[in-house]
């Protein structure tokens, strides 16, 4: 089947670490609109690798999506149940000689990266700090010694300073040198980038819509797709939502969850109208249901700037 004949599949992939706030719901709305606009399926995946399944949170998040009319296809997938898939992908990278054990603690990475003249082949910090390559060329004896000291290693990708380009429908191209990212943490849990890439491929995802805080990580995911022979989905990164103080939206900003908004007397149509207004698809005060937002959806007219939520009444 050619790409154009392939059915579009979109997804929303929250972490069940807390309630969804208006920023998360706005991303979900855009992801749902993008999938439905393309006549495609819309999946929901719980990214609970680090939290483990959190049933209450999951139930609440799914209820929020349903209350807004963002219907989904298929069963919810939980990353905490998919370790075998991640291990299989990691095994393939290990077999291709593309990995190495890393015994560094976060502190050691921070210190080594901060040292003057530390070799730094990366163009941005990874979530565990810019990795200066300390363990890249350890001898077998070094590795054995560290293991004997009782240090459990993480597994890193030998990225070989590859330059990778990612494409985003809104943001264009981003070319970065990819760092030696972690594939499996020292506690045995697959790292986020690996899990996302494996899941998107296994779920047949063709479009990834998510917050633009993940845009600079996208080249890493594209590299993993290339090394694993997996297709690269289309990316659309949505600008973040900020609180009145200019910081990323959070609970402390007040009425930021759907339950908070309902407690103010708002209905789903008010919240969807607000989100659609923030996206430039509705006028202030307009009330819309999900189908009406979908009619107005235009993937090429997303705002360029973050949206600052004004404190609710
Ligand atoms: N789980 C991530 C988040 O909640 C989203 C990851 C993705 O969409 O690729 O921000």
> Which residues are CB-neighbours of 56 under 8 A, at least 6 positions away?
none
What is d(CA 29, CA 171) in angstroms, rounded to the nearest whole number? 19
* CA 190 to ligand 1 centroid distance, Å: 15
Ligand 1 contact via 14 beta carbon (within 6 Å)? yes
Helices (H), the chain: 22-37, 55-67, 83-95, 106-114, 140-148, 192-202, 218-228, 258-263, 268-278, 290-296
For residue 35, pLDDT over 80 is answered with yes
The mean pLDDT of 50-58, rounded to a whole number, is 88
The mean pLDDT of 230-252, rounded to a whole number, is 94
The mean pLDDT of 73-87, rounded to a whole number, is 97
Q: How would residue 119 be classed by pLDDT, with cut points 50, 70 and 90?
A: very low
What pLDDT is attached to residue 232?
Answer: 98
Ligand 1 contact via 13 beta carbon (within 6 Å)? yes
For residue 127, pLDDT over 80 is answered with no
Three-class DSSP category at 230:
coil
Percent of the chain past pLDDT 70, that is, above it, reads 92
Distance of CA 63 to the CA centre of its chain: 21
Residue nearest to ligand 1 atom 2, measured at CA: 14
What pLDDT is attached to residue 128?
Answer: 43
Distance of CA 242 to the CA centre of its chain: 18
Ligand 1 contact via 193 beta carbon (within 6 Å)? no
Q: What is the pTM of this model?
A: 0.92
Using the atom order of ligand 1, give the atom closest to the CA of residue 200: 9
Q: Identify which has the larger pLDDT, 118 or 13.
A: 13
The mean pLDDT of 4-24, rounded to a whole number, is 91
* CA 195 to ligand 1 centroid distance, Å: 11
Bridge partners for 11 per DSSP: 43, 208
Q: Write down all domains in the chain, each with its CATH number in brackets.
A: 9-82+195-300 (3.40.50.620), 84-184 (3.90.800.10)
Buried b (16+ CB within 10 A) or exposed e, 42-53: bbbbbbbbeeee
What pLDDT is attached to residue 312?
Answer: 60
Q: How would residue 106 be classed by pLDDT, with cut points 50, 70 and 90?
A: confident
Counting beta carbons within 10 angstroms of the beta carbon of residue 176, is it exposed (0 to 12), middle (13 to 18) or buried (19 or more)? buried
What is d(CA 89, CA 228) in angstroms, rounded to the nearest whole number? 7
The mean pLDDT of 135-147, rounded to a whole number, is 92
> Which residues are CB-neighbours of 290 under 8 A, at least 6 positions away?
29, 32, 68, 69, 70, 272
What pLDDT is attached to residue 207?
Answer: 98
Distance of CA 126 to the CA centre of its chain: 14
Lowest mean pLDDT among 109-118, 140-149, 196-205: 109-118
What is d(CA 137, CA 116) in angstroms, rounded to the nearest whole number? 20
Strands (E), 134-250: 154-157, 163-168, 172-177, 182-184, 207-211, 234-238, 241-242
Ligand 1 contact via 210 beta carbon (within 6 Å)? yes
Q: What are phi and psi of 279, to 5 degrees?
A: -95, 0
What pLDDT is attached to residue 108?
Answer: 79
> Which residues are CB-neighbours of 140 under 8 A, at least 6 positions away?
none
What is d(CA 253, CA 244) in angstroms, rounded to the nearest whole number? 7
What pLDDT is attached to residue 5?
Answer: 63
Q: Give the residue, out of 15, 46, 203, 205, with the most ligand 1 atoms within 8 A of its beta carbon, to mutate for a pocket test.
A: 15
Ligand 1 contact via 234 beta carbon (within 6 Å)? no
For residue 115, pLDDT over 80 is answered with no
What pLDDT is attached to residue 301?
Answer: 87
Asked whether 187 and 152 are in contact (CB, 8 A), the reply is yes
């Amino acid at each position: 089947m050619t790409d154009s004949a392939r059915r579009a599949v979109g997804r929303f992939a929250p972490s069940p670490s807390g309630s969804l706030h208006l920023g998360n719901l706005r991303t979900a709305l855009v992801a749902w609109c993008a999938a439905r606009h393309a006549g495609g399926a819309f999946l929901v995946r719980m990214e609970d690798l680090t939290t483990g399944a959190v049933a209450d949170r999951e139930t609440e998040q799914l209820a929020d999506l349903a209350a807004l009319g963002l219907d989904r296809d298929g069963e919810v997938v939980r990353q905490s149940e998919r370790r075998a898939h991640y291990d299989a992908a990691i095994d393939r990278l290990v077999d291709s000689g593309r990995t190495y054990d890393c015994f560094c603690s976060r502190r050691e990475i921070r210190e080594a990266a901060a040292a003057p003249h530390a070799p730094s082949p990366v163009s941005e910090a990874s979530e565990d700090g810019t990795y200066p390559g300390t363990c890249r060329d350890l001898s077998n004896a070094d590795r054995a010694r560290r293991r004997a000291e009782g240090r459990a290693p993480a597994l890193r990708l030998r990225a070989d300073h590859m330059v990778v380009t990612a494409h985003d429908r809104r943001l264009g191209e981003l070319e970065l040198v990819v760092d030696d990212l972690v594939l499996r943490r020292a506690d045995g849990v697959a790292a986020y980038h690996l899990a996302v890439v494996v899941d998107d491929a296994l779920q047949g995802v063709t479009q990834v819509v998510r917050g633009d805080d993940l845009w600079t990580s996208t080249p890493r995911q594209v590299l993993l797709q290339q090394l694993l022979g997996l297709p690269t989905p289309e990316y659309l990164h949505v600008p973040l939502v900020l609180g009145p103080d200019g910081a990323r939206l959070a609970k402390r900003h007040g009425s930021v969850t759907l339950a908070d908004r309902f407690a103010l007397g708002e209905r789903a149509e008010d919240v969807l109208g607000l989100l659609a207004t923030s996206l430039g698809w509705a006028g202030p005060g307009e009330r819309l249901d999900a189908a009406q937002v979908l009619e107005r959806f235009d993937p090429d007219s997303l705002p360029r700037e973050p949206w600052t939520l004004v404190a609710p009444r």
